[in-house]
Chains A and B, each alone.
Chain A
Amino acid sequence: MLNLTLWAAESGQILAAGSSDDDSGGLGLVFLLSGFVFYSAIYFRYRNSDKRHGHESETEATMVNMQEHDEFVKARKGLSNRRMSGANNTAVRGASNKFSTGIMSKFKL
Chain B
Amino acid sequence: MPMDAVEPETPPPATTDDAPRVINTDDGAKDGLAKCARCGATEISLNVATGHLRCGFCRFEWSTDNAIEAFNLNGDISKLTGLLVGSGSSDIVPSTDEILTFKCSACGAEVVIDTNTSTQARCHWCRNTLSMNQQVPNGAVPDMILPFKVEKSTAVEKIAHFVGKRKFFAHPTFRAEFNAENVMGVYLPYMVVDINAHAKLSGQGEHQTRSYTVKVGDSTQQRYDADLYNVAREFDIHVNDLTVESSSDRLDQNTAVNSNNIINTIMPFDVENSVRYDSNYLAGFTSERRDSNLDQLAPLAHTQAEDITRHRVNDTLKFYDRGVRWAAEEVDVRGQRWVSAYLPVWLYSYQQRKSNGKTFLHYVAVNARTGETMGSIPLHQSKLLIVSGIVQLVGTVIGLVLVAVGI
Supposing A35-B395, A59-B240, A70-B231 touch, asked if A89 and B314 sit within 8 A by C-beta, the answer is yes
Asked if A46 contacts B169 (CB within 8 A), the reply is yes
Q: Is B293 an interface position by the 8 A CB rule? A: no
Asked if A78 contacts B306 (CB within 8 A), the reply is no
In the assembled complex, how far is the CB of residue A87 from the closest CB belonging to chain B, in whole angstroms?
3
Complex interface bits, A24-62 against B, C-beta within 8 A gives 1, otherwise 0: 110111111111101100110111110111011111111
A22 contact from B221, B224, B390, Cβ within 8 A: B221
A87 contact from B234, B308, B324, Cβ within 8 A: B324
Asked if B267 contacts A81 (CB within 8 A), the reply is no
Asked if B265 contacts A52 (CB within 8 A), the reply is yes
In the complex, which residues of chain B have a beta carbon less than 8 angstroms from the beta carbon of A66?
233-235, 316
Asked if B384 contacts A39 (CB within 8 A), the reply is yes
Complex interface bits, B306-324 against A, C-beta within 8 A gives 1, otherwise 0: 1111111111110110111
Asked if A51 contacts B262 (CB within 8 A), the reply is yes
Q: Is B166 an interface position by the 8 A CB rule? A: yes
Q: Which A residue sits closest to B302, measured CB to CB?
A: A94
Asked if B324 contacts A84 (CB within 8 A), the reply is yes
B403 contact from A29, A55, A94, Cβ within 8 A: A29
Which residues of chain A from 1 to 37 have a CB within 8 Å of any chain B CB?
1-2, 20-25, 27-36
For A, the interface residue count at a CB cutoff of 8 angstroms equals 76
Interface SS, A side: mixed
Binds A, one of B46-54, B136-144, B204-212: B204-212
Complex interface bits, B67-104 against A, C-beta within 8 A gives 1, otherwise 0: 00000000000100000000000000000000000000
Asked if B395 contacts A83 (CB within 8 A), the reply is no
Asked if A46 contacts B379 (CB within 8 A), the reply is yes
In the complex, which residues of chain B have a beta carbon less than 8 angstroms from the beta carbon of A84?
205-206, 226, 320, 322-325
Q: Which B residue sits closest to A71, measured CB to CB?
A: B230
B402 contact from A28, A43, A49, Cβ within 8 A: A28
Per the bound structure, the CA–CA distance linking A97 and B256 in Å amounts to 10
For B, the interface residue count at a CB cutoff of 8 angstroms equals 103
In the complex, which residues of chain A have a beta carbon less than 8 angstroms from the beta carbon of B133?
none
Q: Is A103 an interface position by the 8 A CB rule? A: no
Supposing A38-B391, A66-B316, A70-B229 touch, asked if A55 and B307 sit within 8 A by C-beta, the answer is yes
In the assembled complex, how far is the CB of residue B317 from the closest CB belonging to chain A, in whole angstroms?
6
Supposing A46-B170, A71-B230 touch, asked if A25 and B205 sit within 8 A by C-beta, the answer is no
Per the bound structure, the CA–CA distance linking A108 and B290 in Å amounts to 34
Q: Is B64 an interface position by the 8 A CB rule? A: no
Asked if A58 contacts B267 (CB within 8 A), the reply is yes
Asked if B233 contacts A67 (CB within 8 A), the reply is yes
Q: Is B296 an interface position by the 8 A CB rule? A: no
Interface centre among A2, A28, A61 (most CB of B within 10 A): A61
Interface SS, B side: mixed
Per the bound structure, the CA–CA distance linking A31 and B396 in Å amounts to 6
Supposing A84-B206, A94-B303 touch, asked if A52 and B264 sit within 8 A by C-beta, the answer is yes
Per the bound structure, the CA–CA distance linking A70 and B228 in Å amounts to 10
In the complex, which residues of chain B have a beta carbon less than 8 angstroms from the beta carbon of A62?
3, 237-238, 240
Asked if A23 contacts B220 (CB within 8 A), the reply is yes
B406 contact from A24, A34, A63, Cβ within 8 A: A24
Per the bound structure, the CA–CA distance linking A34 and B394 in Å amounts to 9
Asked if A34 contacts B379 (CB within 8 A), the reply is no
Asked if A73 contacts B222 (CB within 8 A), the reply is no
Q: Is B242 an interface position by the 8 A CB rule? A: yes
A48 contact from B262, B300, B395, B399, Cβ within 8 A: B262
In the complex, which residues of chain A have a beta carbon less than 8 angstroms from the beta carbon of B267?
53, 55, 58
In the complex, which residues of chain A have a beta carbon less than 8 angstroms from the beta carbon of B226?
75-76, 79, 84
In the complex, which residues of chain A have a beta carbon less than 8 angstroms from the beta carbon of B238?
61-62, 64
In the complex, which residues of chain B have a beta carbon less than 8 angstroms from the beta carbon of A73?
204, 228-230
Which residues of chain B from 227 to 259 have a CB within 8 Å of any chain A CB?
227-243, 245, 251-256, 259
In the assembled complex, how far is the CB of residue A82 from the closest CB belonging to chain B, in whole angstroms?
7
In the assembled complex, how far is the CB of residue A42 from the closest CB belonging to chain B, in whole angstroms?
6
In the complex, which residues of chain A have a beta carbon less than 8 angstroms from the beta carbon of B262?
48, 51
Per the bound structure, the CA–CA distance linking A85 and B393 in Å amounts to 37
Beyond A34-B395, A80-B224, list 18 extra A-B contacts (CB 8 Å).
Answer: A33-B399, A34-B398, A42-B169, A45-B166, A48-B262, A48-B374, A52-B253, A57-B311, A60-B241, A62-B237, A63-B313, A64-B78, A64-B235, A64-B237, A66-B233, A88-B325, A94-B300, A96-B300
- Write 6 A-B pairs (CB below 8 A) sorted by A numbering: A49-B376, A53-B268, A59-B308, A68-B232, A84-B320, A99-B255
